[in-house]
């Protein structure tokens, strides 16, 4: 028997399909899907993160989001970086 390839998006879609059937509680859905109750359950209005994203964004909300930070607190200001480059070019040693 071959293994089935299941992507995260497929797993989320299945979760939403089961949620829309209204046959299982959110806790049961989380257990069946192998996700934490927090992911499924606690979010604005006690909707799960996935449920909330589906209601807000539809099918597009089920796609994997970037985990890249929005900003880096240690990132150097562009003007300072440019000034350092200019100083280094003036005084290479």
- How crowded is residue 31: how many other Cβ atoms within 10 Å of its Cβ? 14
**Rounded to 5, what percent of the chain is helix, strand, coil?**
60, 0, 40
Ordered alpha helix ranges (H), the chain: 8-21, 26-33, 37-40, 49-57, 78-90
Whether residue 65 is predicted with pLDDT greater than 70 in this model: the reply is yes
Per-residue pLDDT band for 44 (boundaries 50, 70, 90) equals low
Average pLDDT, the chain: 80
According to the model, what pLDDT value does residue 83 have?
94
Give me the pLDDT at residue 32, please: 83
pTM equals 0.53
pLDDT category of residue 25 using cuts at 50, 70 and 90: confident
């Amino acid at each position: 028997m071959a293994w089935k390839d299941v992507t995260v998006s497929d797993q989320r879609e299945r979760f939403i399909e089961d949620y829309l059937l209204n046959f299982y509680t959110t806790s049961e859905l989380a257990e069946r899907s192998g996700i934490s109750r927090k992911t499924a359950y606690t979010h604005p209005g006690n909707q799960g993160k996935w449920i909330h994203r589906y209601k807000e964004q539809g099918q597009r909300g089920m796609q994997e989001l970037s985990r890249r930070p929005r900003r880096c607190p240690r990132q150097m200001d562009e003007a300072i970086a440019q000034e350092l480059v200019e100083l280094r070019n003036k005084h290479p040693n």
